[in-house]
Amino acid sequence: MEFRYLGNSGLKISEITYGNWLTHGSQVENDIAAKCVRAALDEGISTFDTADVYANTAAEQVLGDALRGERRESLEIFTKVYHPTGPKGHNDTGLSRKHIMESINGSLTRLGTDYVDLYQAHRYDFETPLEETMQAFADIVRQGKALYIGVSEWTAEQIRAGHSLATELGFLLISNQPQYSMLWRVIEPEVIPTSEELGLSQIVWSPVAQGVLTGKYKPGAEPPAGSRATDEKGGANMISRFMNDEVLSGVQKLQPIAAEVGLSMAQLAVAWVLQNKNVASALIGASRPEQVSENVQAAGVKLDDAILTKIDDALGGL
C-alpha cells in the first residue's frame, strides 16, 4: 500500500480508503461486512470512511465492531455529519452547533473510539451561518474528538469560505470528499484548482461508479444477481443514474484498454482517479472481500498519457 498526505497536514492516509455506504447494516450481512474489513486491513488499507446517516447509524456500529481490537494508532477513521439519522426532529439535520455537538458523540460511541481522525461536513448547510458551523468544528478539535476537519461535496467557493474561517479559528480544514470517476468529472475545473491553492486534498467516492466501471453491467442485459443494481434497499435507486445503454456501451470500450495495461476494469477505474495528485485516496466500497483484494491492486499503478488519452477517447462525451 502507498500513502499520501491529506492536504497540507502531516496526516498520511492509504491511497485506497474503504467505505461502507449502502453495504454495512444494509445490503451486506454483518459477517460478510467483517470479512470485507478484514480483507481491507490485510491488504494494507488503514483508512476507513463512514457516516452517521449510513443505514441510519448501523453502518458506523458495524464498522466499529469490525475494527475493535485493532491498534488505533494504525488506523485513520473518518465519519460525517449533516443528515438526520432517525425520526426527523426540527434540529436533527444540518450543521448547527447543536446538531454537530450531539452527532459527534453518537458517532464516537458507535465507532468505539475516543476520536475520529477526520470529521466531515457531509454537505453544505445554507441555513446555518458558516461561522457557527466552523466554530463548532474548532471546538470539537480542541476537545480532541476529531483531529482534522473535512467537507464533502462543497463547491470551490464554499471551500474557500470555510478554509478562511478555519484558518482564523486555528484548525486545519484539509479535505473535500466529492464524487469522482471516469464518468463523473465535475470537480476538475474549479474544485481541484481551488483545493490545490488552499492545501486541501480530495478523497473521492464511487471511483468505479458504484460497480458500473467494472464492466459487469452489459447494455440490454439483466444486472447480475446480488449486484447493487438489484439491491432494493437503496442501491438500485442510487446506481440508476448510470444504468442506461449509452453509458454501459461506452464503458465496454474500456475493456481492451484495461487488458493492454494488465489490469481488470475495476483496477483501471481506481488507478485512473489516483493519477490526479490532488486526490489523496480512492474511496472504494465492496459487497464481498474479493472485490477489496482486486481493487486495492490499483494502488501505486502509473498510467501513461497515451492510456489516459485512449480512455478519454473511448468514453467520448459521457
Taking the C-alpha atoms of residue 81 and residue 90, their distance in angstroms, rounded to an integer, is 16
Binding flag, residue 286, ligand NDP (CB under 6 A):
yes
The region of 61-69, 184-192, 203-211, 305-313 touching ligand NDP under the rule CB under 6 A is 203-211
Question: Hey, which residues between 82 and 141 contact ligand NDP (CB under 6 A)?
Answer: none
Question: Hey, which residues between 147 and 166 contact ligand NDP (CB under 6 A)?
Answer: 152-153
Smallest CA-to-CA distance from 281 within 25, 44, 34, 28 is with: 44
Q: Are strands 173-176 and 12-14 parallel, antiparallel or unpaired?
A: unpaired
Taking the C-alpha atoms of residue 19 and residue 284, their distance in angstroms, rounded to an integer, is 6
For residue 291, the surrounding DSSP H or E stretch is: helix 289-295
For residue 188, the surrounding DSSP H or E stretch is: none
Q: Which of 4, 12, 160, 216 binds ligand NDP (CB under 6 A)?
A: 216
For residue 175, the surrounding DSSP H or E stretch is: strand 173-176
Binding flag, residue 47, ligand NDP (CB under 6 A):
no
Binding flag, residue 195, ligand NDP (CB under 6 A):
no
For residue 79, the surrounding DSSP H or E stretch is: strand 76-81
Q: How many residues bind ligand NDP (CB under 6 A)?
A: 28
Q: Which of 57, 206, 278, 281 binds ligand NDP (CB under 6 A)?
A: 206
Three cell numbers at 43?
491488504
Binding flag, residue 21, ligand NDP (CB under 6 A):
yes
Alpha helices in 177-226 (DSSP H): 191-198
**Minimum gap (Å) between residue 28 Cβ and ligand NDP:** 8
Beta-ladder partners of 48: 18, 77
Query: Among 54, 82, 180, 217, which one carries the catalytic annotation?
Result: 54
Q: Is 54 a catalytic residue?
A: yes
Taking the C-alpha atoms of residue 120 and residue 173, their distance in angstroms, rounded to an integer, is 9
Binding flag, residue 182, ligand NDP (CB under 6 A):
no
Q: Which of 47, 107, 177, 202 binds ligand NDP (CB under 6 A)?
A: 177
Three cell numbers at 158?
464554499
The region of 83-91, 109-117, 193-201, 289-297 touching ligand NDP under the rule CB under 6 A is 289-297
Binding site for ligand NDP (CB under 6 A): 19-21, 23, 49, 152-153, 177, 205-211, 214, 216, 227-228, 266, 283-287, 291, 294-295
Active site amino acids: 54
